[in-house]
């Protein structure tokens, strides 16, 4: 299984996923990182971990996605992992990765909330502002909507009385870095069993 990653920022989930592959917890090869921002921290992570990286500016969405698609096809990518990629995908890219046996596109994302309760940016801030005592992190398939794809795995995240955005985000990210590789490995196992029967 060859993996490609799409990121816009820091890249801590990208790093956790690559580490999980390199440590044998995920049965896949991280093949490339694509970012839409030349200043994305994920680029330094890719350099450190020796993963080929591409900067594809997104001034025009259709051109941006065609360039992504060309790279995915050239490298024969099996799964696309969104890791802090702050854009919606169009039906073109979602359709390109559609797998009829899976009934989903082979695209995953992680979200810092329960996607049924909150979609969009700043999920940890939303949980604090709404004075929740518990929130969640969610790994889901990606469709054209904002955090609307079917849920693959979810873990709850307690909010402590003294939590601020820094402490909640720190514990939330630690949970994300554990959950995302486990959810990815479960999808890989499912794809392998689908391949074995077809
Ligand atoms: C993560 O908290 C991720 O859950 C969130 O962006 C952050 C990226 O951090 N994603 C979303 O909000 C998607 N709706 P990272 O660049 O360090 O992985």
Residue 198's pLDDT is what?
66
83 CA distance to ligand 1 middle (Å):
6
Question: Helix H segments across 54-164?
Answer: 61-74, 91-96, 123-129
Q: Could you tell me which residues come within 8 angstroms of residue 198 by beta carbon, excluding any fewer than 6 positions away?
A: 101
114 CA distance to ligand 1 middle (Å):
13
How is residue 2 written in tokens? 């060859």
Pick from 56, 57, 44: nearest CA to 10:
44
CA dihedral 24→55→42→4, nearest 10 degrees, is -20
What CATH number should be reported for the domain holding residue 171?
3.40.50.170
| Number of domains into which the chain is organized | 1
E strand segments, the chain: 2-7, 29-35, 53-55, 79-82, 98-99, 104-105, 107-111, 134-141, 151-158
Probe residue for ligand 1, chosen from 110, 148, 165, 181 as the CB with the greatest number of ligand atoms within 8 Å: 110
The residues of the chain scoring below 50 in pLDDT are none
112 CA distance to ligand 1 middle (Å):
7
* Residue range(s) defining the domain that contains residue 24: 2-197
């Amino acid at each position: 299984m060859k993996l490609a990653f799409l990121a816009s920022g820091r890249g801590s989930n990208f790093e956790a996923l690559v580490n999980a592959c390199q440590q044998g917890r995920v049965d896949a090869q991280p093949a490339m990182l694509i970012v839409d921002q030349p200043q994305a921290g994920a680029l330094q992570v890719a350099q450190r971990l020796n993963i080929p990286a591409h900067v594809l500016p997104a001034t025009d969405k259709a051109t941006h996605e065609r360039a992504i698609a060309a790279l995915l096809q050239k490298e024969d990518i099996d799964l696309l992992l969104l890791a802090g990629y702050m854009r919606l995908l169009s039906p073109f890219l979602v359709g390109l990765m559609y797998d009829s046996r899976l009934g989903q596109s082979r695209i995953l994302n992680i979200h810092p909330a329960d996607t049924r309760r909150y979609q969009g940016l700043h999920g940890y801030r939303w949980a604090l502002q709404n004075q929740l005592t518990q929130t969640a992190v969610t790994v889901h398939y990606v469709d054209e909507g904002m955090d609307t794809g079917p849920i693959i795995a979810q873990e709850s995240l307690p909010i402590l009385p003294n939590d601020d955005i820094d402490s909640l985000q720190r514990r939330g990210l630690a949970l994300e870095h554990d959950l995302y590789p486990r959810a990815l490995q479960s999808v890989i196992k499912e794809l392998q069993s689908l391949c074995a029967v077809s």
